[in-house]
Each structure stands twice: as C-alpha cells, then as structure tokens.
C-alpha cells in the first residue's frame, strides 16, 4: 500500500509548531516571511493554481527571480501534486518557448524583469492557457491565453481559504520537480525528481556534511533554478527550520559582499569562478565575519584558490560535486578533513565507482569515469529515451566526469570526460593546467581548452584574466607551466582576456571559451 509523502510537508514542518512558526523562513531584498506566513502563501498559491485548472502531475514553469514568490510557488506546486519547473532567467524568448513546448506546460509564472523574453516565448508556445506576472508589467498574449497579475493568483487562492478542493495524495515515488540540464549530452533535458529525492539530499549532505541547524542562515550565489541553488536556498534551510536569504539580483562580487554584511549568513555557497571573482575584487575580510562554512561546487576548486580564500577570510571552504541528475552534492570534503585539490570522499548515502571505457572498475591511482548511486538520482529525462539510456544505467548515474581515487579514498577531478585533452597522444587534464596557472601571482582566473592547430589536432590553449594591475607575459606563463608540470601539459598558447564567459552563477562556459580562443587565434 502506498505511504503518503509530500516533500512540501517536510519543508514546512516548522510552520506546524507554535514555537517555530514565528521564526523567519525567508529574508532578503524581496521581503521577509515567517514560517507561518510562508505556509499561508503556499496554500494560497496552490489553491489559486488549482482554480486556474492546474492538475496533479501537470507542469508549471517558473521564470522568476529568487524571492518569496518563487519559493512559495515551487512549494505550492508540489503541495498540489503538480510539478514545478524552475528555469533559468537567462533564457531568451525562443529558448524559453522550447522548454514550454517540451514540458507541455499550460501555466507560466513570470517575474516582472523577464517579461520581454516571456512575451516572445508565449507567442511561440502551443498549449499555454495561463500566465501570471509579478508586479505591474503586462504584455500581449495570443488568443486563448489569459494573463493575470501574480497577486490575483494569490487572491483567488485566498478566497478559497488556501484549501485544495481536490487534494492529490502523493507518495515518495510521485514526481515532485523537474530541472532542465544540458548535462552530458545534447540539448536541454528535463531531469525528473521524486518527492523522496528531496528528503534524501536533506538527510545526506545537509545533515551529514553541513550539519545544518535551525540557527543557520543560508546564502547561495547559485539561484533556485539550479539543482545546487534549490538545495542550498530551499530544501536545506527549510527542512532544518533555518532561514534562507533569497537575492533576486544577478550576483556580482560587490553585490554579494553587501548581502553578506546586511544579512549575515552562516553558510555560504558559490562556484570556484565566483570565489576567484570575490578575491579579485578585494572584498573585505569583514564581509565573511558571520560565515561558519563556505561550500564550492559546479567545477573543481583549484588548490591555490582554496588557500587564497581560506587565508584571506579565515573560513573553511568545502569542495564538492553534485549534478542536476543527482539533485545535489554526493562527493565532498568534510569540515576539519579538507584535502585541498581533491573533491573529498563519498557523502554517506551514496556509492561511487570509477570505470574504464569497458565499464570495468579501475584500481586506485588510475583515472576512470565517475558513476554514482543513491536515492536522489532522477528517474530519467522527460521524453529523451536515448539520453536516459546513456546516462542512467540501472542504479548507476554516469556523471560524465573523469576522476582518480587515491589510497585513502579521496577523489580528484581530472575534468569532464569530454573536456580531457590529448597532447602528443597523452591525456591532459584542463583542471590540472588551470591549477598551475592560478599559482602565478599575475593570474586571477584561467581556463584551458583544446583548440585545433594547423593540422587539426587539439592543443592546450589557456585563456587568462590578469590580477588587477598586473601585466601578463604569455611566454613567461608557458614556461611557468613547463616548470611545474610535465612538458606536454603546458599550454601552447596563452591568450589574455578581460573576463571568462560564465553562467548566471559564475560557472565557466567552457564551450564558449573554446569558440572565443579559436576566433582569437584565427584573427592573428
């Protein structure tokens, strides 16, 4: 017999008790909500969505900035038994239209700043029936589509007392959330997560690694539409009865420094490229005075960057790896047990394997493709049979990363399996070369990619961003790498650039680096 379970109940349990209902659940520039107020808003949005015809298991796309409305809408859809699909606010109109069509969503919730892209998307998206927009912004919609203020959606639910007329009884295996990812293959795909997956990441990473409590305050540079961000800013703090700091603004070093000072988080989450940006912007040490622990994920954290951050701010920095398909971090360093340059050891609740090209386990010290098994793994990709079969192999998820494990069980990333380079017939890890470049005092950021030479053979090329006021000598950097690495690993060219292309949360867009490097070299 099915045991009822809805992750929304897990995340709002603090609202059910008089001694915790008045605690602050959400704070930030967009406003504050106690647990009781958040629970009430979730009820109103859920009832409003049901009034608008959203049914259990149907998708609702959220194209909104981080804030109380976004958080409440995710939870409301789950409470209703529907499927929230938070998507990147960096999408263009055609990109959003493609996701609306792929998800077959009939309801779209839009943040006021993103109406231009939303207007273009709705005009191209078949099957859309309702659009709710935060704030005063409005735009024309096709015939058959009704556009209303988000406040009207809330009011429709309030008139029903926030109660669902036809509640859906969900179980652990019911679909709770879709997150779109390009992942290891092709065009964006909807990774489908169960309600139980949310509980699992709370019980594993949040409790065993972060050791989060109700006294914590969480601030994440990664936004709610990322798997990394939704764990950091929604699942972990709410499950613990803690406070989440939601920032609708695009992250910049100066803006994040202001939020750190104003809202005093105890847990801080970012990606390596953003940690480098904070250091390069000379954010004052006092900004991190309240932070007890910082977390890095999204790409490998170079040893030099780890030491620069911890030396400057006196905050322990944990490097880990997760994925959209795994929902959050499954391999991580631990407080008091950090080995810089490694991604740590498996998070309790997950099993890892390193395999060769034939699927055989490799010995310690031998590079292999990383596979992970755990209860938070997605059930697959929506309507992507070939990609699902390639990535989800029985109980194991093929991550697309190449790692090596040492005798003590610590894992070190050698790069994305598809990003590994061959120079002179020998494999080269971009992460290893980047780490060496970052040891040079004139280099603030670095990215190494393979660019075809005159013979069509990929050779390592480095794009570097200088430290403010520093002058970079490309020939000197090549010799610096030759001195610290095997000669074949050195970059054949060093290109000096003003910045590196990144996603909304600062994750390196390596394919864009490769395109720009090729263009710069061709223009010589």
Going by the DSSP 8-state scheme, the letter that residue 381 receives in this structure is: B
CATH number of 191-416: 3.40.50.12780
pLDDT of residue 185: 45
Q: Are 162 and 154 in contact (CB under 8 A)?
A: no
Q: Are 80 and 60 in contact (CB under 8 A)?
A: no
pLDDT of residue 320: 97
pLDDT of residue 503: 74
Axis crossing angle, helix 272-280 with helix 303-313, rounded to the nearest 10: 50
Q: Which CATH architecture has domain 7-171?
A: 3-Layer(aba) Sandwich (3.40)
pTM equals 0.86
Q: Per-domain residue ranges for the chain?
A: 7-171, 191-416, 421-522
* pLDDT tens, position by position, 423-432: 655 667 888 8
Q: Are 505 and 277 in contact (CB under 8 A)?
A: no
pLDDT of residue 184: 43
pLDDT of residue 250: 92
Of 164, 187, 180, 2, residue with least CA distance to 82: 164
Q: Are 128 and 122 in contact (CB under 8 A)?
A: yes
- 421-522: in CATH 3.30.1330.60: no
Q: If you search the block for the tokens 């609202």, which residue do you land on? A: 15
Terminal alpha carbon distance of the chain: 69
Q: Which residues pair with 496 in a beta bridge?
A: 464
* pLDDT tens, position by position, 371-384: 999 999 999 999 99
**Three-state SS for 508?**
strand
pLDDT of residue 509: 86
pLDDT of residue 453: 79
pLDDT of residue 502: 84
Same fold, 7-171 and 191-416: yes
Query: d(Cα 488, Cα 7) in Å, to the nearest integer?
Result: 51
Q: Are 47 and 157 in contact (CB under 8 A)?
A: yes
Contacts of 400 (CB under 8 A, 6+ apart): 183, 184, 369, 391, 416, 417, 418
| List of the chain residues with pLDDT < 70 | 1, 182-186, 422-427, 455-457, 504-505
């Amino acid at each position: 017999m099915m045991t009822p379970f809805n992750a929304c109940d897990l995340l709002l349990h603090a609202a059910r008790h008089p001694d915790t209902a008045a605690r602050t659940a959400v704070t930030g520039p967009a406003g504050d909500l106690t647990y009781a107020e958040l629970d009430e808003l979730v009820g109103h949005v859920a009832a409003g969505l049901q009034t608008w015809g959203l049914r259990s298991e149907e998708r609702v796309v959220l194209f909104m900035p981080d804030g109380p409305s976004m958080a409440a809408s995710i939870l409301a859809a789950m409470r209703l038994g529907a499927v929230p699909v938070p998507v990147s606010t960096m999408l263009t109109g055609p990109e959003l239209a493609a996701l609306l069509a792929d998800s077959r969503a009939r309801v779209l919730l839009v943040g006021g700043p993103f109406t231009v892209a939303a207007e273009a998307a709705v005009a191209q998206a078949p099957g859309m029936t309702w659009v709710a927009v935060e704030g005063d912004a409005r735009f024309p919609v096709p015939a058959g589509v009704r556009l209303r203020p988000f406040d009207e959606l809330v009011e429709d639910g309030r008139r029903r007392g926030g109660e669902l007329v036809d509640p859906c009884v969900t179980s652990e295996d019911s679909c709770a959330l879709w997150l779109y990812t390009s992942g290891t293959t092709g065009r964006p795909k909807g990774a489908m997560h169960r309600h139980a997956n949310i509980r699992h990441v709370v019980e594993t990473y949040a409790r065993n690694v972060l050791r989060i409590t109700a006294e914590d305050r969480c601030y994440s540079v990664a936004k709610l539409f990322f798997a990394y961000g939704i764990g950091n800013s929604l699942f972990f703090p709410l499950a613990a009865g803690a406070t989440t700091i939601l920032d609708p603004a695009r992250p910049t070093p100066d803006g994040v420094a202001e939020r750190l000072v104003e809202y005093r988080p105890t847990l801080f989450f970012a990606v390596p490229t953003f940690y480098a940006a904070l250091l390069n912007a000379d954010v004052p040490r006092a900004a991190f005075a309240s932070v007890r622990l910082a977390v890095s994920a999204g790409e490998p954290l170079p040893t030099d960057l780890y030491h620069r951050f911890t030396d400057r701010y006196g905050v322990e920095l944990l490097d880990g790896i997760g994925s959209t398909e795994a929902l959050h971090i499954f391999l991580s360093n631990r407080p008091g047990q950090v080995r810089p340059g490694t991604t740590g050891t498996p998070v309790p609740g997950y099993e890892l394997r390193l395999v060769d090209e034939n699927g055989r386990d490799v010995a310690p010290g031998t590079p292999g493709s990383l596979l992970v098994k755990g209860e938070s793994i997605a059930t697959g990709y929506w309507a992507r049979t070939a990609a699902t079969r390639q990535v989800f192999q029985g109980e194991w998820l093929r991550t697309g990363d190449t790692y090596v494990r040492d005798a003590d069980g610590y894992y070190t990333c050698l790069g994305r399996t598809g990003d590994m380079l061959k120079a002179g017939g020998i494999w080269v890890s971009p992460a290893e070369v980047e780490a060496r470049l970052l040891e040079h005092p004139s280099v603030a950021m670095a990215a190494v990619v393979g660019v075809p030479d005159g013979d069509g053979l990929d050779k390592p090329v480095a794009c570097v961003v200088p430290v403010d006021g520093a002058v970079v000598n490309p020939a000197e950097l090549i010799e610096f790498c030759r001195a610290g690495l095997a000669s074949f690993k050195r970059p054949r060219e060093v290109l000096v650039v003003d910045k590196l292309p990144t996603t909304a949360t600062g994750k390196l867009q390596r394919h864009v680096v490769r395109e720009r490097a090729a263009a710069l070299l061709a223009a010589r």
